[in-house]
Amino acid sequence: MLDLKAIRENPEEIERRLKTRDPEVTLKPLLEKDERRRRILQEVEGLKHERNEASEEVARLKREGREEEAQTRIRELRALSERIKQLDDEVSRLEEEIRDILVRLPNLPHESVPVSFSKDDKVIVREHKERPELPFEPKHHLELAHERGLLDFPRAARIAGSRFPMYVGWGARLEMALIQFFWDFHCEKTGYIPVLPPYLGNPESMFTASQLPKFQDDVYYIERDELYLNPTAETLLCNLHRGEILNAEELPLKYMAYTACFRREAGAAGEEERGLIRVHQFNKVELFKFTTPETSFDELESLVKDAEAVLQALELHYRVALLPTGDMAAQSAKTYDLEVWIPSQKRYYEVSSCSNCTDYQARRGNIRYRPARGEKPRYVHTLNGSGLATSRLMVAILETFQEPDGRVRVPEALRDYLKTDVIPPR
């Protein structure tokens, strides 16, 4: 959520920056409502002062025995109080409308973010390893999974519906190996504090993380309990310090969490989206940071490196892309995507999105820190990144490390978990 005071002081510049994300954005209705609210507040203040003076006059008239004049002033006071109540109600309505506009505005993009409304205008920052060129026509991960009995989408559909995966046999073992590897890696090598949070979040948690109100229809909702299935552990970790004031010495705070994640994923369902590419349920280890404003963009760079380190350990070819203004999540001020190469489709897919949300989420959740003893609290900056999600990683591993005879080599980093260097046949 943006700072209304900052918008009021510099509306043209803020609107210009917001239009780099959405050309339809206008701050005019917000500013008009804010101006109206402030005028009414001034009027109410004057009327309340008038009412106080009139009350004193009524008391004086009664002391002097001038009852008829006192009753006349009392009737005037009632009308004055009714007018004040009407204006207070209008202020409350305007404040609700102002807040509704504010919570729907996206974050301001950082000056280093390329300006474009096309996702194709992302900037490729760097690549790791050569793109794998298999000396044979690579099989699709679904074909490999069928040959080796790794996935069972038909039975998953029978249990839950389409786009829900079910891992079987060595597929289940590989999935658990990936989760445990990500978990161990970030606990031992990148120094994040491990958390196993609830999978469900209440409306306030979803609002703080910026899932509500914009993505109301995209998340799974349990109406009876007023709880949402988490679409990403970012939603949960973001709320760890909601309503708290942290000490500057504690920052940055670095957390990691494993959860299953649930998304409606109402996007395209074409041939390229088959299998594990786009599903309603997937597993992920999430990285999250609470930082000071001065360090947050440096911390974003280190967060990206932490996510990259996992891909490097898995010996996968990937690239880092800086997203343009029109392709970032609403809460983000700057986002890097990590994209792995999928041989059967000859294209890249995002497996981690690392973002600096500056104070956008902190304002929604009132998450602050005290720079020094006696100083006024300031809002923290929040950062998040997948470290990593498993589903597309499994696709990349199965397809990148397949052999001509259908065998799949296991990356060295996973061999201790799977106790094998090759996924055996069914």
Residues designated catalytic: 263, 278, 350, 353, 392
Structure tokens, 336: 């890097």
Handedness of CA 76, 82, 84, 90 (dihedral sign): negative
From the list 301, 223, 219, 314, the residue with the least C-alpha distance to 261 is 219
Contact 29, 99 (CB under 8 A): no
Q: Please state, as a whole number, how many other Cβ atoms lie within 10 Å of the Cβ of residue 207.
A: 19
Between CA 281 and CA 115 the distance in angstroms is 33
Inter-CA distances, 393 with 178, 315, 397, 401, Å: 9, 11, 6, 12
Between CA 191 and CA 254 the distance in angstroms is 8
Between CA 167 and CA 157 the distance in angstroms is 13
Between CA 194 and CA 220 the distance in angstroms is 25
Buried b (16+ CB within 10 A) or exposed e, 290-327: bbbeeebbebbeebbebbbebbebbbbbbbbbbbbbbb
